[in-house]
Amino acid sequence: MTEPTESKTDVLIIGAGPSGLMAAAWMAHMGVKARIVDKRNTKIFSGQADGLQCRSLEIFDSLGFGDRAWKEAHHMIEICMWNPGQDGVIRRSDRIPDTIVGLSRFQQIVLHQGRIERFFLDNIKKYSGDTIHVERGVLPESLEIDADKVDDDEAYPVTVKLRTLSAEEATPQQQITGSKVADGLFRSNLINEDDEADLIKKSAARAGATEIVHAKYVIGCDGARSWTRRALGFELVGEATDFIWGVMDIIPFTDFPDIRMRCAIHSAKNGSLMVIPRENKMVRLYIQLKEVTPDASGRADRSKITPDIIFSAAQKILAPYKIDYEYCDWWTAYQIGQRVGTSFDAHNRVFLAGDAVHTHSPKAGQGMNVSMQDCYNLGWKVGLVAQGIAKRSILSSYQSERRQIAQDLIDFDHKFSRLFSGRPAKDVMDAEGVSMEEFKDAFLKGNMFASGLSVNYGPSTIVAKPGDAAEQEDFEKKQALATGLPVGMRFNSFKVLNQADARPWHFQERLKADGRFRVVLFAGDILKPEQKARVDKFCELLDAPASFLHRATPEGQAIDGVIEVLTIHSSKRVDTELLRDFPAILHPLDPHRGWDYDKVFVDDVSYHEGYGDAYKNYGVDRERGCVVVVRPDQYVAWVGELDDFEHLERYFAGCLVLRA
């Protein structure tokens, strides 16, 4: 046996599912020294999660691959509800839009997890210059935290022992026996060409080799049975439900008219079915298995479930319509468990994310989304702290922000699963049955939650909200300056024009995931002398050598390297000039590359893409404007007047390391 090698890394990510890949993407975009390991020897090729919320698409867009997902996916436009009539025969009883209209520039889509992982892998490769890639077939064997060193910014207090597996050990087992069709982790016949490279098994030359890694931070993204969670001694608390569900991805032959719509079907006696149309003519069926019940211990024996059992249940629910298939891409069966982790971090040095800290039913399409969003919340914080740009104290906000989301998700899932799995009420007197009105209402309300856009983070060092009632009145005054940009929620998007070249942009497109905070200066009507004087004063303070902007920027870095200042003004574009009317700090001069023409925008009418009416939509006064701070993950962090400079400075002094 050879001696283990030793190495150091700033961030070690365990698990390369959607949440681990999101964490790795941040490290790649921010230039943080990081590694990501996974015990499997390939990525996912079929099945598992498929629904992508609007918020996930906004996030993908900030990383640079929203367009790939948008083009390839199936778009979900309408939901049809099917319920039994008085005669017990199912009928279409309602149609609602799948995504609440006007909520986001994206709508919900479906694309299987393997493609999402592909996009991440390509993106990480591109942005890290191929320095971060998934090290497959690698298993952690021990994890220790040196508690004496956790407060030392320079220390590597987490030690993880890694072992490289043999090809056999790294190949996942079929989860359910009794079927020739892959149940999740194997190759799909519909695999895309750019996935072929992943099929080549990695060399087993290093099999058995061990390595001791010293890390500043570790992120455990290793799924529902998380090894990292167990190594920390943390638990998932909650319960398993009695509802057993089967899932099949098939290409159907059917006379059911809404097979290309998302459908929620309640039969009179045979249970419920969810239809999710997919890419490549596929359809996913989520089927309640009424004939499979848990044993005395509360667990169902999944090994007894076969595709035939699942499919015949689907046929009964859909009757009198007929359904059949020749090709099944993937199938699985599960018992819904609704659990949340007791803790999301240890010493703010080891973090847990994704399925490792919350499990729930997959029907509401939340699992992959919420898991990725955990790491979209965490990744930049860890990255900035590891780089010495942000204070370590910001890391506590991960648990306070995301544990609440996980709990909300479980509550939502609890309600949704009960309504979906319950028997339809025969009439208003049938108290045990589920009223279809109640179901529709829950679906409509759930749509807001399911979009991922209802997230509203509480007060912390990075969200300037009142901690107590005494601060409430002052906060409300500030919030009134931008009523469409609630502090704690994601920065909504409306179209504005680039001042220099008149090109329309969705403003959110300018909020790239690169780890930078943004100060958005709503400059108001800068052609009014009084307002111009306020803007000039704000910029003078901003550009003073002792300002937070200069002190947050490491020596030698460009002035927009840590905090980028973006401007939206409300004067007419053609009456204003970038260089004449806007102080230089709003479009900084690079000695080698000239003025920055991509930082000043105007709320005006475009030639080809209409009018975004941004000031009105953001609820900002067109004359006086205001200032808004946006976190690197696009959440609104602070709102104030142009004259509140000291307050603004205090915000940054609270979370960033400002040079003396």
Residues assigned a catalytic role: 50, 278, 286, 362
End-to-end CA distance of the chain: 51
- Whole-angstrom distance, CA of residue 395 vs CA of residue 386: 11
| Helix, strand or coil, per DSSP, at residue 323 | strand
Strands 210-220 and 51-52: unpaired
**Does 368 contact ligand FAD by CB under 6 A?**
yes
**Does 108 contact ligand FAD by CB under 6 A?**
no
Among the candidate windows 27-35, 362-370, 504-512, 652-660, which touches ligand FAD by CB under 6 A? 362-370
| Helix, strand or coil, per DSSP, at residue 291 | coil
Of the pair 248, 628, the CB lying nearest ligand FAD is at 248
Question: Which of 9, 15, 493, 519 forms a contact with ligand FAD (CB under 6 A)?
Answer: 15
User: For ligand FAD, what does the binding mask look like between residues 301 and 340, x meaning CB under 6 A?
Assistant: -------------------------------x--------
Among the candidate windows 14-22, 146-154, 234-242, 601-609, which touches ligand FAD by CB under 6 A? 14-22
- Whole-angstrom distance, CA of residue 285 vs CA of residue 478: 48
Nearest distance from C-beta of residue 582 to ligand FAD, angstroms: 44
User: For ligand FAD, what does the binding mask look like between residues 210 and 229, x meaning CB under 6 A?
Assistant: -----------xxx---x--
User: For ligand FAD, what does the binding mask look like between residues 402 and 421, x meaning CB under 6 A?
Assistant: --------------------
Structure tokens at 508: 């959110």
**Does 247 contact ligand FAD by CB under 6 A?**
yes
| Helix, strand or coil, per DSSP, at residue 257 | coil
Among the candidate windows 12-20, 206-214, 252-260, 515-523, which touches ligand FAD by CB under 6 A? 12-20
**Does 140 contact ligand FAD by CB under 6 A?**
yes
CA dihedral 359, 365, 368, 372 (to 10 degrees): -110
- Whole-angstrom distance, CA of residue 3 vs CA of residue 210: 8
Of the pair 401, 596, the CB lying nearest ligand FAD is at 401
State the amino acid at position 523 in one-letter form: A
Nearest distance from C-beta of residue 94 to ligand FAD, angstroms: 24
Of the pair 45, 618, the CB lying nearest ligand FAD is at 45
Question: Which of 84, 114, 307, 362 forms a contact with ligand FAD (CB under 6 A)?
Answer: 362
Q: How many residues bind ligand FAD (CB under 6 A)?
A: 33
**Does 367 contact ligand FAD by CB under 6 A?**
yes
State the amino acid at position 19 in one-letter form: S
Cα–Cα nearest to 373, from 277, 283, 455:
455
Residues 49-88 that bind ligand FAD (CB under 6 A): 49-51
| Helix, strand or coil, per DSSP, at residue 34 | strand
Please report the DSSP string for 565-617 in residue order: EEEEE-S-GGG--HHHHS-GGGSPEETTTEE--SSEEE--B-SSS-B--HHHH
Of the pair 10, 355, the CB lying nearest ligand FAD is at 355
Question: Which of 48, 421, 447, 571 forms a contact with ligand FAD (CB under 6 A)?
Answer: 48
Of the pair 50, 58, the CB lying nearest ligand FAD is at 50
Of the pair 163, 349, the CB lying nearest ligand FAD is at 163
Nearest distance from C-beta of residue 105 to ligand FAD, angstroms: 23
In three state form, how does the secondary structure of 261-278 look? Answer: CEEEEECCCCCEEEEEEC
Nearest distance from C-beta of residue 247 to ligand FAD, angstroms: 5
CB neighbours of residue 184 within 10 Å? 18
List all residues 6 or more positions away from 71 whose beta carbon is below 8 Å from its beta carbon.
none
**Does 184 contact ligand FAD by CB under 6 A?**
yes
**Does 446 contact ligand FAD by CB under 6 A?**
no
431-445 b/e with 16+ CB inside 10 Å = b?
eeebbbeebbebbee
Of the pair 185, 655, the CB lying nearest ligand FAD is at 185
CB 488 within 8 A of CB 465: yes
**Does 18 contact ligand FAD by CB under 6 A?**
yes
**Axis crossing angle, helix 529-543 with helix 645-655, rounded to the nearest 10:** 30
- Residue 237 Ramachandran class (φ > 0 left, ψ -120 to 50 alpha, else beta): beta
CB 136 within 8 A of CB 21: no
**Does 40 contact ligand FAD by CB under 6 A?**
yes
Nearest distance from C-beta of residue 223 to ligand FAD, angstroms: 3
Question: Which of 12, 13, 139, 143 forms a contact with ligand FAD (CB under 6 A)?
Answer: 139
CA dihedral for 43, 46, 50, 52, sign (positive or negative): positive
Nearest distance from C-beta of residue 494 to ligand FAD, angstroms: 30
Residue count of the chain, please give it.
660
**Does 23 contact ligand FAD by CB under 6 A?**
no
Start-end of H helices in 422-528: 436-450, 469-479
Using CB under 6 A as the criterion, which residues of the chain lie in contact with ligand FAD when the complex forms? 14-20, 37-40, 48-51, 113, 139-140, 175, 184, 221-223, 227, 247, 332, 354-355, 362, 365, 367-368, 371
